[in-house]
C-alpha cells in the first residue's frame, strides 16, 4: 500500500493508537469515558426524525437523488443564510448540498487544486482542511489558527515567499479544535487581502450555532464583495445533532460552487432523498431545538472547567464549539500529547484527542469533546484526580 502515491502523502493516523487502546480497554470491561471524537451524543430532534419516517414511506424517494441537493433543500439553506446572516444566496448557482462539510472540503480540494498548488491552512486545525488538499496533490503552508496580527503577517509572508502563489486560504471559526472565534472586522480584512491577491477563501462554519457569548459568530459572506472570492461550508451535524445523517452545504462564489458541483456529479447522486427532505424540515423548522442544544453544551462546558479545576487541571474556557482545547498539565508535558492520552486511558479511564493530530502546533495540547453528560464529566474528573494523586505519590516515593 505504501507504493501508492496518495497513501505516501498521508502521515500515520495519530488517533489510531488511542482508538486501539480504547477498544482494548472496553473489551476488557473497562468503562471508558470517551471525550475524544466530536461525535454528538444528543438525539436528533423528533420533528426531523418524523419527517424522515414520513418521507421514506413513499417508494419514489428510494430512487437516485440529486447530487447538488433537491431544490427545496437548497432554498431552505438560502433562507437560513438570509435569516441568520442577512446574506442573499441564489439556490440555483450559489448553494450546493454536500455529504457533510468534510466531504464538501475534500471534493472542493479535488475540484480546484492541482499538484504543486499552495494552500494556506491553519495549524492546528481539523485534519480534512489539510489532508483533503494533500490527497489532491497540493502543497500546504501553515498559518496561525488565530485572528490577531500574526495571522495577517503570515498571509503576507506566504504571498511573498510561496512559489507558486497560494491559490486559497482556509478559515475555521469557531475553530476546531481551539474554540477560537472571529469577528466581522477580521473577515473584512481577510476578504480585502484575498481580493487584492486573487486568492480564494474557504471558510468552515460548522459550529456557527454552538456559541456561548451574546454575539453569534458571523459569516464571511456578510462582508461586501466576499462572494467574489469566498465559499463557506456548514453542517447540520452539530446544529441539529445529525452527525450520522451526513448533510452539509457549500455556499458562495458561483465559480467555486460550479466546480464542486461538476466534481460531485461524477462521484455521487447526493444524500438519500428522505434525509434531504428531513434536513429541509430542520432548516425551515423552529429554532428552539438549537437553543436547547446550545444550552446543554454550555452547561457541559461549565461543569468541565469547574470540575477539572478542582483536581488541578486548569482548562481555558472555550468561547464556542463543542470542544475545549487544554494544555497538558506541566508534570506530563514532557510526554507529548499522544503518550499523555494513552496514559489517560490506562490510568484515568478517559479518552481524549491528542493535539498532535491537529497539526504540528497542536502538540502540547489535548482536545475535550463535550459529548458526555454532566455526570460523566464529573466522573472523568474524579478519574483524573486519582491518576494525578497516584502519579504524585510515585514521584515522592522515587525521591
CB 95 within 8 A of CB 82: no
**How many Cβ atoms sit within 10 Å of the Cβ of residue 76?**
23
pLDDT of 2 reads: 62
Phi, psi of 231 (to 5 degrees): -130, 140
| Residue 370, all three cell numbers | 463535550
**DSSP of 351-385, one letter per residue?**
E-EEGGGG-GGGTTEEEEE--S-HHHHHHHHHHHH
Burial class (CB in 10 A: 0-12, 13-18, 19+), 277: buried
Q: How far apart are CA 157 and CA 308, in angstroms?
A: 40
Cis peptide bond upstream of 344, omega within 30: no
Burial class (CB in 10 A: 0-12, 13-18, 19+), 62: exposed
Phi, psi of 203 (to 5 degrees): -105, 130
**CA count, 13 A, side-chain hemisphere, 232:** 27
CA nearest 351: which of 14, 40, 21, 13?
A: 21
Phi, psi of 169 (to 5 degrees): -125, 135
Segment holding 398, helix H or strand E: helix 374-398
CA–chain centroid gap for 186, Å, is 20
Exposure string of 95-104, with b = 16+ CB inside 10 Å and e = fewer, is bbbbbbbbbb
The secondary structure of residue 98, as a DSSP letter, is: E
Total residue length of the chain: 399
pLDDT by 10s per residue, the chain, length 399: 567 888 888 877 778 888 899 999 999 999 999 999 888 999 999 999 999 999 999 999 999 999 999 999 999 999 999 999 999 999 999 999 999 889 999 999 999 999 989 999 999 999 999 999 999 999 999 999 999 999 999 999 999 999 999 999 999 999 999 999 999 999 999 999 999 999 999 999 999 999 999 999 999 999 999 999 999 999 999 999 999 999 999 999 999 999 999 999 999 999 999 999 999 999 999 999 999 999 999 999 999 999 999 999 999 999 999 999 999 999 999 999 999 999 999 999 999 999 999 999 999 999 999 999 999 999 999 999 999 999 876 655 555
Q: How far apart are CA 134 and CA 131, in angstroms?
A: 5
Phi, psi of 164 (to 5 degrees): -75, 175
Note the pTM of the prediction, 2 decimals.
Answer: 0.93
Number of H-type helices and E-type strands within the chain: 13, 12
Burial class (CB in 10 A: 0-12, 13-18, 19+), 180: buried
Exposure string of 19-56, with b = 16+ CB inside 10 Å and e = fewer, is eebbeebeeeeeebbbbbbbebebebbeebeebbeebb
Q: How far apart are CA 273 and CA 66, in angstroms?
A: 8
- In DSSP terms, 351 is beta-bridged to 34
User: What residues contact 50, with CB distance under 8 A and at least 6 apart?
Assistant: none
Three-state DSSP class for residue 320: strand
Amino acid at each position: 500500500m505504501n507504493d501508492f502515491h496518495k497513501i505516501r502523502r498521508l502521515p500515520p493516523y495519530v488517533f489510531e493508537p488511542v482508538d486501539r487502546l480504547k477498544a482494548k480497554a472496553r473489551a476488557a470491561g473497562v468503562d471508558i469515558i470517551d471525550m475524544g471524537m466530536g461525535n454528538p451524543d444528543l438525539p436528533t430532534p423528533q420533528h426531523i426524525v418524523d419527517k424522515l419516517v414520513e418521507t421514506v414511506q413513499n417508494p419514489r424517494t428510494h430512487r437516485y437523488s440529486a447530487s447538488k441537493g433537491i431544490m427545496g433543500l437548497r432554498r431552505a439553506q438560502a433562507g437560513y443564510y438570509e435569516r441568520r446572516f442577512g446574506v442573499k444566496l441564489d439556490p440555483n448557482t450559489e448553494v450546493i448540498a454536500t455529504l457533510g462539510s468534510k466531504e464538501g472540503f475534500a471534493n472542493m480540494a479535488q475540484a480546484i487544486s492541482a499538484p504543486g498548488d499552495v494552500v494556506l491552512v491553519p495549524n492546528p486545525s481539523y485534519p480534512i482542511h489539510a489532508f483533503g488538499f494533500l490527497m489532491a496533490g497540493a502543497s500546504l503552508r501553515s498559518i496561525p489558527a488565530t485572528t490577531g496580527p500574526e495571522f495577517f503577517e503570515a498571509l503576507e509572508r506566504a504571498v511573498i515567499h510561496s512559489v507558486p502563489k497560494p491559490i486559497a486560504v482556509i478559515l475555521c471559526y469557531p475553530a476546531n479544535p481551539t474554540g477560537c472565534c472571529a469577528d466581522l472586522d477580521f473577515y473584512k480584512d481577510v476578504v480585502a487581502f484575498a481580493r487584492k491577491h486573487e486568492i480564494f477563501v474557504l471558510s468552515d462554519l460548522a459550529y456557527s450555532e454552538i456559541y456561548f457569548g451574546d454575539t453569534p459568530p458571523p459569516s464571511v459572506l456578510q462582508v461586501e464583495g466576499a462572494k467574489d472570492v469566498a465559499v463557506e461550508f456548514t453542517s447540520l451535524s452539530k446544529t441539529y445533532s445529525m452527525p450520522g445523517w451526513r448533510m452539509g452545504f457549500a455556499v458562495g462564489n458561483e465559480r467555486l460552487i460550479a466546480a464542486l458541483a461538476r466534481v460531485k456529479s461524477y462521484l455521487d447522486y447526493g444524500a438519500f432523498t428522505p434525509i434531504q427532505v428531513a434536513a429541509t424540515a430542520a432548516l425551515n423548522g423552529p429554532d428552539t431545538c438549537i437553543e436547547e442544544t446550545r444550552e446543554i453544551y454550555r452547561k457541559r462546558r461549565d461543569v468541565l472547567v469547574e470540575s477539572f479545576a478542582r483536581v488541578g487541571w486548569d482548562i481555558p474556557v472555550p468561547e464556542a464549539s463543542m470542544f475545549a482545547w487544554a494544555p497538558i498539565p506541566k508534570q506530563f508535558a514532557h510526554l507529548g500529547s499522544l503518550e499523555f492520552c494513552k496514559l489517560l486511558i490506562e490510568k484515568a479511564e478517559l479518552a481524549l484527542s491528542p493535539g498532535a493530530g491537529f497539526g504540528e502546533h497542536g502538540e502540547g495540547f489535548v482536545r475535550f469533546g463535550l459529548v458526555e453528560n454532566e455526570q460523566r464529566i464529573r466522573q472523568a474528573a474524579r478519574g483524573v484526580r486519582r491518576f494525578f494523586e497516584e502519579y504524585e505519590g510515585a514521584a515522592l516515593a522515587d525521591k
